């Protein structure tokens, strides 16, 4: 069954791969922040939509989401712009999307939020982590603490909401290797996964 899908953060590596997988059987609109990306989106048979997580109002997102089946949030500052921009995109942008979905009149689309593995309260180490997991977690938190903090805050905001259905994906470190078609789901150990 064909679905109507909106991808927020449509020009990222994960989003472009997802678009390529979805467009043969689904109607995809891809939210981009600059027209420089529109040809890349069109070449994948998706419709580019120019909106900014930082500048566009919630109402613009809500209007776009009306009548859609799925909103896929895969936007991120990518470490550019320091803590202020990371907060604006990875947290405030995510919350703007959550608020926009809640504001949709009638049926609301499901949200799929791309977060990151090991996004959690840093003081609570999961019981299933082994020594290697703890070492990887420490290296990651030391390398990208701002990113991990704001992803965690977005996740915490989302789990309090019940006006729409949602799923949080927490992929491991991302590589550009060919996919295996397999993934570890649930309580997993930290590691890499192909986009």
Q: Which residues are designated catalytic?
A: 147
| Residue tagged 């030391």 (tokens) | 142
pLDDT tens-digit series, residues 136-177: 888 888 888 898 899 999 999 999 999 999 999 887 666 677
Query: What share of the chain in percent tops pLDDT 70?
Result: 95
Mean pLDDT taken over the chain:
91
State residue 54's pLDDT score: 93
pTM of this structure:
0.91
Q: How do the domains of the chain map onto residue ranges?
A: 4-131+144-194
Q: What is the CATH number of domain 4-131+144-194?
A: 3.40.50.720
């Amino acid at each position: 069954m064909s679905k109507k899908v909106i991808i927020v953060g449509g020009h990222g590596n994960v989003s472009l791969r997802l678009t390529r997988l979805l467009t043969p059987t689904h109607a995809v609109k891809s939210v981009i922040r600059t027209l420089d990306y529109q040809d890349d989106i069109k070449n994948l048979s998706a419709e580019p939509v120019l909106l900014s997580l930082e500048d566009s109002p919630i109402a613009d997102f809500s209007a776009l989401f009306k009548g859609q089946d799925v909103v896929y949030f895969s936007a991120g500052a990518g470490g550019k712009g320091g803590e202020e921009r990371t907060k604006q995109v990875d947290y405030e942008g995510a919350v703007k999307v959550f608020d926009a979905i809640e504001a949709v009149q009638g049926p609301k689309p499901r949200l799929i939020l791309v977060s990151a593995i090991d996004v959690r309260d840093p003081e609570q180490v999961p019981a299933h982590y082994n020594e290697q997991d703890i070492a990887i977690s420490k290296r990651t938190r030391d390398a990208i603490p701002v990113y991990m903090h704001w992803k965690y805050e977005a996740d915490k905001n989302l789990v309090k909401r019940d006006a729409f259905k949602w799923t949080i994906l927490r992929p491991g470190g991302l590589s550009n290797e060919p996919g295996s078609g397999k993934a570890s789901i649930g309580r997993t150990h930290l590691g890499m996964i192909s986009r």
